[in-house]
Amino acid sequence: MNTSVKRKSMKTKSILFTAGVLFLSSVMFVSCKDDDNDTPVTADAANYAYSVIVGDNSYVSVFDNFDDISSLNNANAFVHAKSALIYTYKDYLYVQEFESNEKLFQYRKKDGDLELVKTLSLPAQSFPVGLTFKDDRTAYLPLVYAGQILVINTEELIITATIDLSPYALENCYPAPGAAIIRDGKLFVVLSQFITVNYPSPGAYAVVIDTETNQVIKAINTQLSDNTAAFEPSGDPFMDEKGDIYFCSVGAVGYIPGYREGFLRIKKGETEFDESYYFPIADKTLADVPGNVANYIYQKVYAGNGKVYGYANIPGAASEIPDYVNDRSMQPVIIDLYAKTIERLNLEPTVGWSSCIAKTGDRLIWGMVSSQGAGLYLYNPATRATDKFLSTTGTPYRLFEFKD
């Protein structure tokens, strides 16, 4: 019986280091139950998965919709490490603890709630961050510090292969694989090419892998921007309706002068970065924010027609020594990838460790902390107004919609 997760109930149930260069905190793990039940999945009313941070833990829960409720609590939450990440795939939810208790937890929806199905232990001190699904049976999981990608059989939740990326490291670097996307049978995996932890090599790097053979086809790079690989999945890479893949470079998130951020792309049918496309956010004037400039984009979601919604870090709103626990420097914005514009939305800024976003139908859900409090804001892009606010017990950390 696994004892890595604790379940909360009304009776007896009872970052931060994230994004590699963004957040640092300690991690605690709380023990408890494992259910390796193989009962068939049935239709379920749990439509959204989310996590909040309370003290030294993440509380992972689900809820149905925004109707007839004004708040969410942690009564039925599963408790994980403070920096645990979540991913959804059809009726399944995966929770990834990646700092010192490297584990992957598989849940599925059942009766409007979650049940723990399986747990997979991962290599120690490997910093496993990210999960990209090929199909109902296969997912890819990068190990940042190990310079590898694990191939996971999600039916059995076992490791079936390891892809070694060390041959593709630059001299005196380790490849540090991050987020990925699959298109046309090819897995595109971004690399930070770290000289030391949090010190990326100049340039943007990736490898292209054949998802049938799990062999690396090629390594690619461009010098248009620096560091496409924010460790923690932050909404990219993504693909637009044209079949073009977009990557968001974070540079050195403002810490190293001269490093360049911005959007890059690989066009449909191609496997090299498009040298004709580069959209640096920091070069644009952003009205109605302190200093009128952003220096990188953090959590984001592609909403169609070239539009991206997300959080822009505003250096003018940060302390002299940035404090991601207290500085409300993450401003909600809309970005047009085709027109290369960025605009502030009429939403308050939030702190870096509470700035998640998801798309649901024609609405957006912003998880953040504002003057109204910590919670989820159901936002209508057409009216540019908040339709509903759900307060949370704890600060919103991650949020996804279950989709078929």
Q: Quick one: average pLDDT of 34-63?
A: 74
For residue 162, is pLDDT > 60?
yes
Strands (E) located in 124-185: 132-133, 138-143, 148-153, 158-164, 177-183
pLDDT digits (tens, 9 = 90+) for 258-294: 999 999 999 999 999 999 999 999 999 999 999 999 9
7 vs 196, residue with greater confidence: 196
pLDDT at 323: 84
pLDDT digits (tens, 9 = 90+) for 290-341: 999 999 999 999 999 999 999 999 999 999 887 878 899 999 999 999 999 9
Residue carrying structure tokens 């307060």: 391
Element containing residue 303 per DSSP (H, E)? strand 296-304
Residue type (1 letter), 186: K
Of 16-25, 149-158, 166-175, 394-403, the poorest mean pLDDT is in: 16-25
**Residue boundaries of the structural domains of the chain:** 125-278
Structure tokens, 43: 């239709």
Distance CA 37, CA 92 (A): 14
Judged by DSSP in three states, 350 sits in: strand
Closest CA to 203 of 129, 260, 153, 143: 260
Judged by DSSP in three states, 379 sits in: strand
Cα–Cα distances in Å, from 64 out to 45, 67, 159, 323, 375? 5, 9, 33, 34, 16
pLDDT at 82: 87
Residue 84: count other Cβ atoms within 10 Å of its Cβ: 29
Cβ burial of 41 (10 Å; 0-12, 13-18, 19+) is: middle
pLDDT digits (tens, 9 = 90+) for 292-306: 999 999 999 999 999
pLDDT at 19: 37
Q: Quick one: average pLDDT of 144-156?
A: 97
Structure tokens, 49: 């998965």
Structure tokens, 12: 């007896």
pLDDT at 6: 63
Q: DSSP letter for 232, please.
A: S
User: Does this model's pTM top 0.75?
Assistant: yes
pLDDT digits (tens, 9 = 90+) for 235-261: 999 999 999 999 999 998 878 889 999
Residue carrying structure tokens 């590898």: 148
pLDDT at 30: 31
Please answer whether residues 306 and 327 qualify as being in contact, where contact means their C-beta atoms are separated by less than 8 angstroms: no
Which CATH number is associated with domain 125-278?
A: 2.130.10.10
Closest CA to 97 of 131, 133, 74: 131
Give the mean pLDDT of the chain.
88
For residue 38, is pLDDT > 90?
no
Cα–Cα distances in Å, from 371 out to 74, 188, 391? 22, 40, 12
Closest CA to 100 of 128, 58, 66, 61: 128
